[in-house]
Each structure stands twice: as structure tokens, then as C-alpha cells.
């Protein structure tokens, strides 16, 4: 399926992009920050292969998963909260130094963004990444020149899979449901797009909590954003 197909009948439109796992491979820096946090707390580091599967629901849930050492973390008890708050503060401190250090833009992303920009498409990043880390990462990777807007994990009171961040970005860019598409790597992105009533492209190379994106019900599934040209 072509991106033009998803935008019909009124082109150009609005494209919303997830950040971690879709535009940028940020897992090395996130894993380094998680491991610094775990080591600071006297725990065994998790390593990138586990951390990659924990990314996508924001920093709070990433830290919850790291403390539980599994994707399906248990709901916290009051006793856990002091540990969680400490762990989150240590993670933020570490990631502030590490954000963007080893992050790379995935193959096919620049070609896709250049193409859409040339068509006059308006583009936003809609990420669950905490707000303070979004602009620095976009600047460091050079992606900032493509995006007139970003919505981060704490821009609104809710995050993906809630549809509100997508609808907020769409409205800010003057889009409508018939002219907007979401591009993401995880169930959080596909569910948010479905709840927002806009089509969604899922990429196979991202994180998606360690699962396949093929069965999520996305309107298109691709191995590279270059396939959308
Ligand atoms: O969970 C995160 O911090 C990153 O999330 P994203 O995949 O929405 O960019
Ligand atoms: Mg993602």
C-alpha cells in the first residue's frame, strides 16, 4: 500500500510519527541509562535485549519494568513507591547525559521524510518519551528540520495508546481524520491510531515489546519507511 493510498482523497495531509523504534534506534542509550540506574541500586544490569522490549509506554513504565525485570510488571504497592521514585530520578539523571549518544536514525527514514516534505505534507512526532528528552534527540539526529510540532509523553495528561496525543497533533497541524496517518512501531501506536479513527502504518524493525507487529491490525506493515515512497 502506498502512503498516497492512505491519504486519499485529499493530498497532501498530515503524517504523525512515533519516535523510539520508528524514527530513531534509541535503545542503546535507554539501555545504558537503565543499566546505570540498576547498578546504582545494587542490582544486575539488564542489557539492551531486555530493555528494548520495555520501551514504548514512557519512562515510568520502563523503570517499573526494569525494577520487575519483566515486561508485565506488577501493579505497585505503596512500599514500592519510594524505590520507584528513586529509580526514576536516577534514570532521568543518567539519560540526560546519554540521550542521543549512540542513537541512530533507521534506514529509510530520511528518504521518507524528504519525500513527504517535498509533497507539502505536515509532520509531527507523537512519542511517549518524556518531554525534556524529545527536542534534544530530534536536534542531535537532525530530524528537527522535518517536524513543525512534537507531542511528548507529558505534553498531555494521557499518553498513547490513548488517542488524545494523536488527535492533538492532527488538530494543531490542521489535519482531519481523512487526511492524517500515524506511523509507529508498537501496539501503543496502532491502538492509539485505531481509537483516533486514523489509519496506521506499522514498521517491523522497531521494538513492540518483543512481539510481532503483523497481527496488530495496522493498515500497512513495512520493513522500511522507504517502502512507502
Ligand atoms: O516509551 C518511550 O519512552 C518511547 O516511546 P515512543 O516509542 O512512543 O517514542
Ligand atoms: Mg515506539
The domain that contains 163 carries what CATH number?
3.40.50.1000
What pLDDT shows up at residue 139? 98
Asked if 33 contacts 94 with a C-beta cutoff of 8 angstroms, the reply is yes
Check whether residue 16 and residue 117 sit in a common domain.
yes
Query: Could you tell me if 76 and 123 lie in one domain?
Result: no
pLDDT attached to residue 80:
77
Position 4 pLDDT exceeds 60: no
Q: Which residues are registered as beta bridge partners of 202?
A: 184, 221
87 and 149 share a domain? no
SS3 184: strand
| 67 or 6: which leads in pLDDT | 67
CA distance 36 to 97: 11
116 and 177: one domain? yes
Which triple of cell numbers denotes residue 103? 542513537
Query: Does the complex come out with an ipTM higher than 0.90?
Result: yes
Same-domain pairing of 122 and 173? yes
pLDDT at 138 over 50: yes
Last residue of a domain, one of 98, 121, 156: 98
- In this prediction, residue 129 has a pLDDT band, given cuts at 50, 70 and 90, of very high
The kind and range of the H/E element at 86 are: helix 78-98
The mean of the pLDDT values for the chain is 93
50 with 154, same domain: the answer is no
The boundaries of the domain holding residue 181 are 3-26+103-228
CATH code, 89: 1.10.150.240
Same domain (yes/no): 133, 184: yes
Give tens-digit pLDDT for 69-89: 998 877 777 667 899 999 999
Residue 122's pLDDT band (cuts 50, 70, 90): very high
Among 209, 192, 216, which Cα is nearest to 56's? Answer: 209
The domain total for the chain is 2
Residues 80 and 108 in one domain: no
Q: Tens digit of pLDDT for each residue in 141-168?
A: 999 999 989 999 999 999 999 999 999 9
The pTM of this model reads: 0.95
Q: Which of 16, 21, 155, when mutated, tests ligand 1's pocket best, judged by the most ligand atoms within 8 Å of its CB?
A: 21
CA of 162 to the centre of ligand 2 (A): 14
Of the residues 98, 124, 143, the one at which a domain ends? 98
Considering the domain architecture, whether residues 8 and 110 belong to the same structural domain is answered as yes
pLDDT of residue 31: 98
Tell me, yes or no, whether 124 and 16 share the same domain: yes
Tell whether 207 and 153 lie within a shared domain.
Answer: yes
> Is residue 144 annotated as a catalytic residue, yes or no?
no
pLDDT (0 to 100) of residue 1: 45
Q: Is the CB of 206 under 6 A from ligand 1?
A: no
Amino acid at each position: 500500500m502506498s502512503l498516497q493510498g492512505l491519504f486519499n482523497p485529499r493530498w497532501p495531509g498530515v503524517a504523525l510519527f512515533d519516535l523510539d523504534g520508528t524514527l530513531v534506534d534509541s535503545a542503546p542509550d535507554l539501555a545504558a541509562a537503565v543499566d546505570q540506574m540498576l547498578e546504582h541500586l545494587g542490582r544486575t544490569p539488564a542489557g539492551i535485549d531486555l530493555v528494548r522490549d520495555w520501551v514504548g509506554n514512557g519512562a515510568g513504565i520502563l523503570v517499573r519494568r526494569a525494577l520487575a525485570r519483566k515486561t508485565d510488571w506488577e501493579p505497585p504497592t505503596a512500599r514500592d513507591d519510594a524505590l520507584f521514585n528513586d529509580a526514576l530520578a536516577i534514570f532521568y539523571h543518567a539519560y540526560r547525559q546519554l540521550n542521543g549518544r549512540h542513537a541512530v536514525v533507521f534506514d529509510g527514514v530520511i528518504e521518507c521524510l524528504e519525500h513527504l516534505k517535498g509533497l507539502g505534507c505536515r509532520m509531527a512526532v507523537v512519542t511517549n518519551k518524556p518531554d525534556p528528552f524529545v527536542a534534544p534527540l530530534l536536534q542531535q539526529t537532525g530530524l528537527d528540520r522535518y517536524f513543525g510540532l512534537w507531542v511528548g509523553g507529558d505534553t498531555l495528561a494521557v499518553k498513547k495508546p490513548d488517542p488524545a496525543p494523536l488527535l492533538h497533533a492532527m488538530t494543531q497541524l490542521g489535519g482531519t481524520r481523512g487526511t492524517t496517518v500515524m506511523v509507529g512501531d508498537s501496539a501503543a501506536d496502532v491502538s492509539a491510531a485505531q481509537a483516533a479513527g486514523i489509519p496506521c502504518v506499522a514498521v517491523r524493525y522497531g521494538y513492540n515489546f518483543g512481539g510481532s507487529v503483523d497481527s496488530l491490525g495496522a493498515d500497512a506493515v513495512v520493513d522500511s519507511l522507504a517502502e512507502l515512497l
